[in-house]
Structure 1
Amino acid sequence: MSLAARDIRVTLDGRTVLSDVSIALERGRFVGLVGPNGAGKTTLLRVLAALVAPTEGSVTLEGRSTSGMCRDERARRVAALFQGAGVGWPMTVREIVALGRLPHRRAFAPLTDADEVAIARAMVRTDVEHLADRPEPTLSSGERMRALLARALAVEAEWLLADEPVTALDPAHQLDAMALLRAVARDGAGVVAVLHDLGLAARFCDRIVVLKGGRLVADGHPEEALTDALLAEVFGVTARRGRAPDGTRYILPWARSGAVKEESDGAIIPP
């Protein structure tokens, strides 16, 4: 059960955004897509979701070209959540989440029992059930993001592609969302998320894919992909590493590479 991109090149407005990117993804794993600003992460996610057609290369889902699938089939099999994806009119949170069931229904058909169960489950998992009757314009940015994540989960798709799903969330809901995405993968779906928080990515993701300048520069387990050398080269930072009492390894971006030094008392001063 794979979603694969091969030899992807994307040129937008005469500028090459992605170049020679190939990646094969498997269900049951949570993949973090990371890289500095402008690296091409969101564009790659849009290519995987068949929302952007590559200038060169192809995307396949279980060996079939996604470009040859009908829109409804793609929508049932690949759910996507992108930054800035509002709803356009004052729907309630429950109505927003119910949109996730559209690929499973005929036009204007009423919600089925299966739809109702999927909607309720998605709202509970994203902690928005208490917001069910709130109109979208009254939501905070974090509440809106959780509602949109619930909409994506309600699809119950084989794949979930999410663009910066934790950016607008407070720390508690960031942890909840990352744990939820990992649980969705453990349940058998493939999850790919664009992430900027390297600490959360390293802690929760099974695999890290690193882009820089539109090219894939690292791909592997977090400890293999986020090495000190790569952090310095790609992100321009150094990191602190450690292990939590439960044995979980963590990484904490600490300073710009070569920008600071530490005295023996722990104070950080310019070099």
Structure 2
Amino acid sequence: MSLAAESVDIRLGGRAVLTDVTLALEPGRFVGLVGPNGAGKTTLLRTLAGLVPPRRGRVILDGTPLLDLSRDARAKRIAVLFQGAGAGWPMRVRDLVALGRLPHRRAFGGLDASDHAAIARAMARTDTAHFAERLEPTLSSGERMRVLLARALAVEAAWLLADEPITALDPAHQLDAMTLLRRVALAGTGVVAILHDLALAARFCDRIVVLGAGRLVDDGDPDILTDRRLAETFGITVRRGVAPDGTPYILPWHRSDPPPEDIDAALPQRS
């Protein structure tokens, strides 16, 4: 089930946020959406989900204009995970994850066996089953993000769109989440995630889409994150290396524009 943006323009508050963005996405791939703050990443994700109508252009889902589909039809096919998208009132974790099954349920209908199975799978995959009875306000920010990811996975949609899914997680759970998202993609779901950690994006994603000032400036495999691209788009220089297993990695090191002050001299000296 393909998902594509065709010549999309978005204006919010009279300001151009996205300009002429064309992007074709395929299922079964983990796409990292990267770019500096204010580049339009979240707006693009919301547009792909059908939550922001384009001023010009359109989004196509499997050959059909997305906005021609009902809200329920879109919700069954596209699961979303946005920052701050909690329940708004105290709920048990299990009940919060169960909200992911709403698009599949009849009005006022209860959960059936397939719903319970999907909820259990999502909680097992996100390591949240052991606090299923806790209330959302008692969760740490990292635990809460994992629960929201479980809710999105419980939809079992063809597409998963995630806005900064690892930002609140500790390093171990960041690795777990990136591994999980990659496995979800390998199982056939299309995954698009906004990421700020360029090292993890380059390591785990099949494809990198770079936005800058509301425009698509690069698109391809992780090798597009060249020194020149990182300097022009993010204003940084990086250190590069190769892990023992042969995987290359990058580490943001300095601002490249404007030239930094003597950062190394300001850092604590190690003996």
1:18-49, Cα deviation, whole Å (9 max, x unpaired): 00100000001000000000000000000000
Amino acid in structure 1 at the alignment position of 2:146: R
Structure 1 residue 268: Cα displacement: 3.1
Q: How does 1:82-161 map to 2 (within 5 A)?
A: 82-161=82-161
1:195-218, Cα deviation, whole Å (9 max, x unpaired): 111111111000000001000001
Structure 1 ranges of 4+ moved more than 4 A: none
Tell me, yes or no, if structure 1 residue 172 matches structure 2 residue 172. Answer: yes
**Residue 260 of structure 2: SS of its match in structure 1?**
coil
**Residue 58 of structure 1: SS of its match in structure 2?**
strand
Structure 1 residue 86: Cα displacement: 1.5
Amino acid in structure 1 at the alignment position of 2:124: V
Cα distance change of structure 1 residues 260 and 221 upon mapping to structure 2, 3 Å threshold: farther
Amino acid in structure 1 at the alignment position of 2:249: Y
1:136-186, Cα deviation, whole Å (9 max, x unpaired): 111111111110000000000000000000000111000000000000000
Q: How does 1:113-262 map to 2 (within 5 A)?
A: 113-223=113-223, 225-257=224-256, 258-259=259-260
Structure 1 residue 126: Cα displacement: 0.6
- Of the structure 1 ranges 172-181 and 240-249, higher mean CA displacement relative to structure 2 is found in 240-249
- Residue aligning to 2:66: 66
- Residue aligning to 1:30: 30
- Of the structure 1 ranges 107-116 and 51-60, higher mean CA displacement relative to structure 2 is found in 107-116
Amino acid in structure 1 at the alignment position of 2:185: A
Q: For the residues of structure 2 that align with 1:217 and 1:78, how far apart are their CA atoms?
A: 25
Structure 1 residue 260: Cα displacement: 6.4
Cα distance change of structure 1 residues 6 and 251 upon mapping to structure 2, 3 Å threshold: same
1:26-82, Cα deviation, whole Å (9 max, x unpaired): 001000000000000000000000000011110001110010001111101000000
**Residue 110 of structure 2: SS of its match in structure 1?**
coil
**Residue 174 of structure 2: SS of its match in structure 1?**
helix
**Residue 169 of structure 1: SS of its match in structure 2?**
coil
Q: For the residues of structure 1 that align with 2:172 and 2:24, how far apart are their CA atoms?
A: 32
Q: What fraction of aligned residue pairs are identical, expressed as a percent?
A: 70
- Residue aligning to 1:264: none
| Structure 2 residue runs without a partner (length 5+) | 267-271
| Structure 1 residue runs without a partner (length 5+) | 262-266
- Residue aligning to 2:269: none
- Of the structure 1 ranges 241-250 and 86-95, higher mean CA displacement relative to structure 2 is found in 241-250
Q: For the residues of structure 2 that align with 1:125 and 1:249, how far apart are their CA atoms?
A: 27
Structure 1 residue 245: Cα displacement: 1.1
Q: How does 1:16-55 map to 2 (within 5 A)?
A: 16-55=16-55
Structure 1 residue 107: Cα displacement: 1.5
Amino acid in structure 1 at the alignment position of 2:247: T
TM-score (norm 1): 0.95
Q: For the residues of structure 2 that align with 1:194 and 1:117, how far apart are their CA atoms?
A: 28
Amino acid in structure 2 at the alignment position of 1:162: A
1:92-150, Cα deviation, whole Å (9 max, x unpaired): 10000001111111012121111111101100111111110000111111111110000
Amino acid in structure 2 at the alignment position of 1:113: A
Q: For the residues of structure 1 that align with 2:181 and 2:215, how far apart are their CA atoms?
A: 25
Structure 1 residue 269: Cα displacement: 3.9
**Residue 185 of structure 1: SS of its match in structure 2?**
helix
**Residue 94 of structure 1: SS of its match in structure 2?**
helix
What is the RMSD computed on CA atoms of the aligned residues?
Answer: 1.2
Q: For the residues of structure 2 that align with 1:99 and 1:54, how far apart are their CA atoms?
A: 28
Q: For the residues of structure 2 that align with 1:119 and 1:58, how far apart are their CA atoms?
A: 33
